Amino acid sequence: MALFPLFVKLDGCRCLAVGAGPIGESKIAGLLEAGAVVRVVAPSATDAVREWAAQGRLTWVQRRFIPSDLDGAFLVVAALPVGDDLTSVYEEAQRRGVLCNAVDDPPHCDFYYPAVVKRGSFQIAISTGGHSPALAQRIRQELEAQFGQEYESWLADLGRVREALFATAMDPDERKRLLHELASRHAFERYRAGFRPPATDFGPRDRESIPGPTFEAKNPKPGKVFLVGAGPGDPELLTLKALRVLGTADVVLHDDLVPAEMLELVPPGAVVKNVGKRHGAQHISQEQINALLVEYAEAGLTVARLKGGDVSIFGRANEEIDALREAAVEFEIVPGVTAVSGAAAAALVSLTDRRASSAVVLVTAQTCKGNARPDWRAIASTGATMAIYMPGEHYRRVGSELLSAGVDQGTACLVVSRASQLGEVTVETTVGALGSLERLPAPAILIVGEVVRKKNTEDRIQKTEDEIPDSVANAGS
């Protein structure tokens, strides 16, 4: 049977409790807390119920139930052992149209007591429809750990700000947006850190602007910077920790290649700024990024520096780490799925194979800062799979340098563009033919090595089987 969830105002309503033992006492306490006018009918009562009666908080009639006890009642709680008295209470309530709850007897209930997490006016009610109160209690305990006592004062502050907003002439859609922003997870995290939302100073928020803090700080905790790996691009490949950081960030400074779908995970009230540094098209320097990280953190904000792939691989993380350490700003690294791992997964290949290559070398073809070209000959001599980041427009040059380093022109290679994202493209070629390949959109990874030659898979399997001694192969026969 479907139940209709409902929070009911009982202030001033006449409610009857039949039974005043330990179970009845807890039900009576809830009615009193809700402001109900409580009448208790029971031959005996617990010390607490007797005390409430002596204080005038309820009326106790010391006898067994009679039908007229339901006169004028809005609802009745029957905290009695299953039997004739409980059945008679329920049947009489049904005749009079009075809602009845028979404790631990679901067939004789018009409503059920939920397990409740209560933080002032903030309440979460859990019901199993009477099927498993034990499950409801377990979930209540888990939610109590998740929603701490601070929710009571936070909700009170939100109520005051809501009243102020409705007393102000403003666009209804803008008011709605602000109310949702103030109730967001990142706003709560700021509240716990000591920031309090004022009743004024509400204006449009530009996600590409870089405003100062919009909350009043009262002994705030120091800010913190998270260097977060965004993975190859698919939001589902974010780590759980990265997802949590993005969901609570006040500021997100992201690379140019972080997809828009991932930025949708950022709270609507957060400052979101593109600080990408594409080769030949920089609109912000690394020094300016470092300064922004420090500035926001010193303002007491939580900052997510979102970088494609893993932050520790070709992400200039050390330059930002140095700046944060120099400014004594707390920071944390949240690793991500590497770009080359995403590329290999997209191409359905493994970067290592004990039959072909037992090592992987990560190298970049990008030399914007005038860095020396990679020592391809030394790398090739290891026999490792090469994962070449940011091949950009340099396919022909990389191919020529690899050939000059002694790499066979028939060596297999893959270019994987936009791995794990819409528009993903994988092209298989060889080192000799690499120069004739059209440039694929960034981000792209070039993987060089026999592990990526798909058509040779069966040959490698056969070779491995041929190397297995007959004594091992026949062990099970």
Strand 59-61 with 216-217, pairing: unpaired
Give residue 468's pLDDT: 42
Give residue 394's pLDDT: 81
Q: Give the pLDDT mean for 413-420.
A: 92
CA distance 275 to 443: 16
Q: Is the pLDDT of residue 456 over 80?
A: no
Share of the chain above pLDDT 70, in %: 86
Give residue 185's pLDDT: 74
Region 14-113: CATH code: 3.40.50.720
Higher pLDDT, 206 or 76: 76
CA distance 226 to 231: 15
Give residue 444's pLDDT: 92
> Which residue of the set 250, 255, 273, 307 is catalytic?
255
Give residue 356's pLDDT: 84
Give residue 193's pLDDT: 65
- The CATH topology of domain 224-337 is Cobalt-precorrin-4 Transmethylase; domain 1 (3.40.1010)
Listed in sequence order, the residues at least 6 apart from 109 whose beta carbon sits closer than 8 Å to its beta carbon are 100, 101, 102, 130
Distances (CA, A) of 156 to 36, 159, 202: 23, 5, 18
Q: Model confidence at 282, in pLDDT bands (50, 70, 90)?
A: low
Distance of CA 61 to the CA centre of its chain: 53
Q: Is the pLDDT of residue 219 over 70?
A: no
pTM of the model: 0.54
Summarize pLDDT for 86-114 with one digit per residue, the tens.
Answer: 889 999 999 999 999 998 888 889 998 88
Output phi, psi for 244, to 5 deg. Answer: -65, -40
Residue 221 annotated to the active site: no
Q: Is the pLDDT of residue 15 over 70?
A: yes
- The answer to whether 36 and 59 have CB atoms below 8 angstroms apart is no
What is the domain class of 340-458 according to CATH? alpha beta
Summarize pLDDT for 189-204 with one digit per residue, the tens.
Answer: 777 766 655 544 444 4
Share of the chain above pLDDT 90, in %: 52
> Which residue of the set 118, 221, 241, 277 is catalytic?
277
Residue 256 annotated to the active site: no
Summarize pLDDT for 135-156 with one digit per residue, the tens.
Answer: 999 999 989 888 888 889 889 8
Summarize pLDDT for 339-348 with one digit per residue, the tens.
Answer: 999 999 999 9
For the beta sheet containing 425-430, the strands, ordered from the edge strand earlier in sequence to the opposite edge, are 360-364, 385-389, 444-448, 412-417, 425-430
Summarize pLDDT for 251-272 with one digit per residue, the tens.
Answer: 999 998 899 899 988 887 788 9
